[in-house]
Structure 1
Amino acid sequence: MNQLTTIYISVAILITKANNLIEVSMIRRNQQEQGDNSQQNKCQPNQIKIDEICQNCHFSCRQCFGLGQNKCTSCNSISNRILWNDQCICRRQYYEDEQQSVCQECHKSCQSCLGSTGNDCLSCYDDYELLNGNCVCKLGYFYDYNNMECRQCHFSCEICNDFETDNCLKCPFDSQRLLIDNKCQCPEGYYEVEGNPICKKCHIKCKTCSGYENCLSCSSEKLLVNNDCVCQPNFFLYKSNIIYTCKPCSNECLTCFGQLGFECLSCVAQSTLSPNNTCSCNLGYFLINGQCQICNSNCRTCAYSSTYCLSCSTNYVVQTNNICFNNQCGCTSSYYMDSNGICQQCASSCSTCNSTSCTECPNKLNFGPSCSTTASLPQYCTSFDINGICAQCQTNFTQNSEKVCQMQSAVICSIWEFLSKVVNRLEVIVKPAIIQDVRFVILNIIYHQEIATPVIKVV
């Protein structure tokens, strides 16, 4: 229908209504002019006088201003009709029974209808929807036969046969709910929000929950602590994208953090947390399988096992096999105990010693690492080995094959050259025999290292 046609129809309706109003006005004026003096000239309430003859109004009208169903001015109050556009039409939930000329009640499910049955509906109430002439309960509603009305299902149900939660027949689409024992329940990993048909997802760390981060249960690798899922001891929560998994901490940590698990928050028993977030076993303990185990009583510190000693308790020494040996008895005189707890003999010149030098000499002549075997001391020697033999000579001296310190050859030549000049000068003023004695003394000084200077008398 175009706009021009709509305008024509609207104008025609207005003209018709105007003519009706004019006609009603003229009739009422005639009635007023004629008066009501004569009972014979008065018509019945449902009649109208036309050409001085009382004629019946349309059966639907109580009073009218002309003949026809659209000429009514009022309706009978008990006829279930209402006045609308000069017509007495059946009120809502009633239909026109043309055979009996009365308004009959529709089926209770209908808001308006064409007949009395439940499949004659034209429109429905809010809780219903029209389906093939029938008013059926909307999705999410059920028909209450006791009260003859549609009632809303529990919010968790899409289709039900009762208001109770355990009478669901189908769950809402995209609600994440599962139909279990006639209940639409939130699955594992989702939680219920009162009044909301859609299940909300729990935080990924929860297995089940009553709120986003209010965990009720956890996966097997986590523990439930104050409604929170935390990793078991020696594990930490590792996040990769949106996935949370528990990964093992470093062996020495009880709890830890960071991406690798090396940064400790707390330590296993018998260990201590350092300021740089590392744990180390206490003295006398060693780490094995993530636990600090006690060392053998002989060990002060140990590793790998309780008997693999790194250091020993008092009166014990570490042997080559890393076992602590009891050192309370000690070694006899002229012996010392090595690092393996074995008694080793001192150098023959020592009365007592340690691993590096003599500690006591038989003739009380104790010179550092060794003892002198004679009253005269080795000259020009600055250090000795464990056997009392010279190990190093003084500057400008060197050892011969017998380990005796001798003056170096360059020094000897220099001294000989100097003394030869002295002797040559002496030959001028002394006898040849005396010169020979002088030569002997000089050689004796050089090769025998005697300190005393001989006195040469000039005859």
Structure 2
Amino acid sequence: MCFACPQACITCSNETYCLSCQLGTYLYDGTCIQQCLPGTYLDPNSWQCELCHSSCQTCQGPSPRDCTSCSDRISPPVYGQCYIVTCNAGQYFEVVDGSCYDCDPSCQTCFGPQRLDCSSCFRGYFLDQEGACIENCPLGYFGNTDFLLCEKCSDGCEICETSSDNCIKCRDDEYSLFLHEGKCLASCPEGYFQNNEGSCEACDSSCQTCDESKTKCLSCPEGLYLENNNCVTNCSLQYYPDEDGFCKKCAAHCNICYDSVDCIECSFLYLLHNGICMATCPKGYFEDFDHSKCIPCHVTCATCSGLSYNDCETCLPVSPKLYKGQCLEDCPTETFYKASEMECQECDRTCKSCIGPDSTDCIQCQDGLILDPKAMKCEVHGDIMCPSKTFLRKEQLTCESCHHTCETCSGSSPRNCLTCQLPYYLYISE
């Protein structure tokens, strides 16, 4: 007849005695339990709860040196060992035979099973991790003068003093470690850089981060801008402060700009037009070199030399005729339109009106002159005098213009003036 095994058993020899247990429970004295009882420990190989040594209340293994608490529940274990009897100073208790043995002379106290298994040292010596009393702790440890122990330095530290967090030299491992405020770090914190001595040195106060030297900034505090590894309040000429905290180059030929596309002031011999620096202004603008800008022409001008309505050089189709810098729909009286020059020119002074292409091609004469319809010239008739600023060319019976400096004259040369126009004065040579 088959009987069910006890609860939590996988296999059993009868209905009360387990031989193996389900996952999460442990075998002890034929029973599957969820946790080993005091006085036992879990054997990871068999997954069974085994008895501690008789000197132990609790333990982590079968040896008399595996105790975690002692049977008397008063004295804590010393190096995993519970003392059943008290030995004299300078002796240790051997739990195997229950006897006391002398420590090595280098030990103040020891715990066995060897004489050199020191547990404390005389002043001037430190107890290392192997249980030996030594004058100088090995690399990676420092001598605690209060407890006369060699204590481990913080991770990555090769030499430390007075405490584990007071490192003075980091280990030279496969990867670099840097010393910062007594600790060894894989990289320096913000505001510090890695110097040649292998430690983290503070950046200059103007830098937020730096590299290679304290003044070679990589980034800047708020309100400052990075330019050529320096943190500045204002960017240099031809640079502008960007939102990302960097001084960036203005566009070509620009001295001062808002950003990479909007220039405010151009460099020498360049002219500003719609935020761009140009060598020449586009049509419809004149080149103001005093202010290094392209200034719009007057609305009547196609091209110009200034702001005014009479600074036009060429005209738009709506008022195509240029006269004394103005663009007009028609030429004024006593002028004619010369197409080859694209401007209105003065008629000869004998003409009241003319048609060109020469200034003497009159169609109406000044008062007192008669038009020769074949020659298209105005002639003197009878005793009529030539008009002001003209003279009589007798062989042709025509009036011709004086030089522009003369008020009255006897010929066309400036040396033929009889009286002068203001502001000129007549000079009579001897």
TM bin, normalised by shorter chain, reads 0.3 to 0.5
TM-score, with structure 2 as normaliser: 0.37
- Structure in which a larger fraction of residues adopt helix: 1
- Larger radius of gyration, structure 1 or 2? 1
